[in-house]
Amino acid sequence: DVQLEESGGGLVQPGGSLRLSCAVSGFTFRDFTMNWLRQTPGKGLEWLAYIDKTGEIIYYADSVQGRFTVSRDNARDTLYLHMDDLRVEDTAIYYCATWSDYWGQGTRVTVSS
Partner 1 sequence: DIMMTQSPLSLSVAPGQAASISCKSDESLLKSDGKTYLYWYHQRPGQSPQLLIYEVSGRFFGVSDRFSGSGSATEFTLHISRVEAEDAGVYYCMQGRKLPLTFGGGTRLEIK
What's the distance, CA 29 to chain centroid?
Answer: 15
Report, in Å, the least distance between residue 62 CB and partner 1.
Answer: 8
Question: Which neighbouring-strand residues pair with 72?
Answer: 79
CA angle (67, 80, 99) in 5-degree steps: 100
Nearest residue (CB) to partner 1, 2 versus 11: 2
Residue in 34, 79, 92, 104 binding partner 1, rule: CB under 8 A: 104
Report, in Å, the least distance between residue 95 CB and partner 1.
Answer: 6
31 binds partner 1 (CB under 8 A): no
Residue list 35-94, contact with partner 1 (CB under 8 A): 35, 37, 44-47, 50, 59, 61
In angstroms, the CA 78 to CA 13 distance is 26
Report, in Å, the least distance between residue 75 CB and partner 1.
Answer: 26
Residue list 3-22, contact with partner 1 (CB under 8 A): none
Residue in 3, 105, 110, 112 binding partner 1, rule: CB under 8 A: 105
The three-state (H, E, C) secondary structure of 8-52, written as one string = CCEEECCCCCEEEEEEEECCCHHHCCEEEEEEECCCEEEEEEEEC
